Structure 1
Amino acid sequence: MIEVDNLHKSFGESHVLKGISSKFEKGKTNLIIGQSGSGKTVFLKCLLGLFSPDKGSISYDGKIYSELSASEQRNLRQEMGMVFQGSALFDSMTVQGNVMFPLGMFTKQSKSEMQDRVDFVLKRVNLVDAHNKFPSEISGGMQKRVAIARAIVMNPKYLFCDEPNSGLDPKTAILIDNLIHEITQEYDITTVINTHDMNSVMEIGEKIIFLKNGLKEWEGSNKEIFKTENEAVTDFVYSSELFKKVRQMYIEERN
C-alpha cells in the first residue's frame, strides 16, 4: 500500500499539488485521472521518487520515503516497476535484451538465472517467440507488452504506468488493460496508472482519484463514478457522447 498525506509541490510560483491525501491499495488497479494541467504527471513523479514534495509525506507499506537513508531509498526504488507512455524501449537491444537490462543492472543473478526470469515474464505477457526481435520489428501493442515484462522482471511491489494505452487501437488497449489488471492481482502488486482513457477507468478502475487544479476533487471506484453528482467529474467523464449515453442509461435504470 502507498499512503499519501497532505502532499504539496511547487515549481517557482506555480503551486502544482495542493495538499493531496489518499491511499493506493495493494492488489488493486489505482487510477489517476484529470485534465491536462491537473497535476497528474507531477503527482506520479512524486510517487516514483523523481520529485521531492515540498510538504507532506509518501509512505510505502509503512516506510516514509523522506525518512529513509539514501541507500534505503535506492533499495525501495528497485521495488518499483515503471511502464512509460512511449514504452521507452532501447532500439538497439532485442526484446530479450530490453527485459534483461534491469536484472543485469541491479542484481547479481547468473546468466542462466536471468534467462529463466526473462523467459518467464515474456511468456506471461504472451511474447514467447519475440526474444530476438528488435522494437522496430514488432507492433505498438507488442512493444507495450515488452515494457510491462521489463517492469515486472524484478518482481516489484509497486507498478506505475504512465498512459499505458497511448497510441494503441481500442482492441489492443483493452488487452493491455486486462494484462495489467491480471498481473496486479496475480502478484498482489500496488499498481498506479496515470491515464486519460475512460475505457480504462470503466474496465479496471478499482480505485480512481480525480485531480483538478492540483487538488483531489473526487475519489471512488468505477462503479461509484456513475453515481457521483460532482460536476467537475461528470464534465470530465461524460465529455464524449458515448459516456453521456451510458450515464443517461444508468439514470433511467435508477429511476
Structure 2
Amino acid sequence: MIEVDNIHKSFGDAHVLKGVSTCFDQGKTNLIIGQSGSGKTVFLKCLLGLFVPEEGSISYSGQKYSELSTSEKRDLRQDMGMVFQGSALFDSMTVEENVMFPMDMFTKRNMGEMRDRVNEVLQRVNLVDANKKYPSEISGGMQKRVAIARAIVMNPKYLFCDEPNSGLDPKTAILIDNLIQEITQEFNITTIINTHDMNSVMEIGEKIIFLKNGFKEWEGTNKEIFKTDNGAVTDFVYSSELFKKVRQMYIEERN
C-alpha cells in the first residue's frame, strides 16, 4: 500500500501538484489519468522517489519516505519495478540479458540462479524460447512483455507502469492490460499505472485517480466512473463518440 498525504510539488513558479492525497491499494491496479499538463507524470515520479515534494508525505507500507535513511531508501527502490513507456530495453542485450539486468546489478546470485529466475518470469509473461533474441527481432507487444518480466524479476512490492499500452494495437493492448492485472493479483503487488487509454480505465481500473491542473479532481472505480456527475471527469472520459455511446447505454439501462 502507498499512502499519499497532501503533497505539493513545484518547479520555479509552476505549482504542479496542489495538495494531492490518496491511497493506492495492494493487490489492485491503480490508475492515474488526466489531460496533458494535469500533473500525472510528476505525480508518478514523486511516487518513485525521483522528485521530492516540498510539502506533504508519501508512505510505503506505513513508512514515510522522508523518514527513511539512505540505505533504507536504496532498499525501497529495489522493491520497485518499472515498466517504461517505450519498454526501454537495451538494444545490444538479448531478452535474457535485459531481464537479468536488475539481478546482475543488485544481487549476488550466481549465473545459474539468475537464469532460472529469468526463465520463471519469461514463462509467466508467456514468452518461451525468446531468451537469445534481441529486441529488434521481436514485436512491440513481445518487447512490452519483456519489460514486464524485467520489472517483476526482483519480486517487487510496488509496480509502476508509464503508459504501458503506448504504440500497441488495441488487441495487444488488452493482452498487456490483462497480464498486468493478473500479475498484480497473483503476487499481491501495489500497481500504479499512468495512462490515457480509456480501454484500460474500463477494463482494469480497480481504482482511478483523476488529476486536473494539479488537483485530485476525482477518484473511484471503473464502475463508479459511469455514475459520476463530475463534469471534468465526464468531459475527459467521454470525449470520444464511442464512450459517449457507452455512457448513454448505461444511463438507459439504469432507467
| TM-score, reference length from structure 1 | 1.00
SS in 2 for 1:129: coil
Superposed counterparts of 1:89-168, under 5 Å: 89-168=89-168
CA–CA distance in 1 between the matches of 2:213 and 2:59? 24
Residue 225 of structure 1: SS of its match in structure 2? helix
C-alpha RMSD of the superposition = 0.3
Indicate the residue corresponding to 1:172 in structure 2: 172
Q: For residues 85 and 55 of structure 1, what CA distance do their matches in structure 2 show?
A: 28
1:228 equivalent in alignment to 2:249: no
TM-score under structure 2 normalisation? 1.00
Alignment of structure 1 residues 14-29 onto 2, 5 Å = 14-29=14-29
Matched, 1:240 2:234: no
**Number of matched pairs:** 255
| Equivalent residue, structure 2, for 1:189 | 189
5+ unaligned residues in a row in structure 2: which ranges?
Answer: none
Paired AA for residue 206 in structure 2? E
Partner of 2:41: 41
Counterpart amino acid of 1:135? Answer: P
Percent of residue pairs bearing the same amino acid type: 84
Structure 1 residue 127 displacement after superposition: 0.6
Partner SS for 2:224: coil
Shift of 1:129: 1.2
Partner of 1:206: 206
Over 2 Å off, 4+ runs: none
Q: Which amino acid aligns with 1:99?
A: V
Q: Which amino acid aligns with 2:116?
A: D
What secondary structure is seen at the aligned counterpart in 1 of 2:208? Answer: strand
Unpaired stretches in structure 1, ≥5 consecutive residues: none
Q: Give the letter for the 1:229 counterpart.
A: D
CA distance in 1, matches of 2:94, 2:64: 37
Distance across 1 between alignment mates of 2:77 and 2:150: 15
Aligned-partner Cα distance in 2 for 1:142–1:129: 12
In 2, distance between residues paired with 1:48 and 1:156? Answer: 13
CA distance in 1 between counterparts of 2:112 and 2:132 reads 17
**Offset of residue 33 of structure 1:** 0.2
**Aligned letter for 2:210?**
F
Q: Residues 91-133 of structure 1: CA distance to partner in whole angstroms, max 9, x if unpaired?
A: 0000000000000000011111101100000000011111000
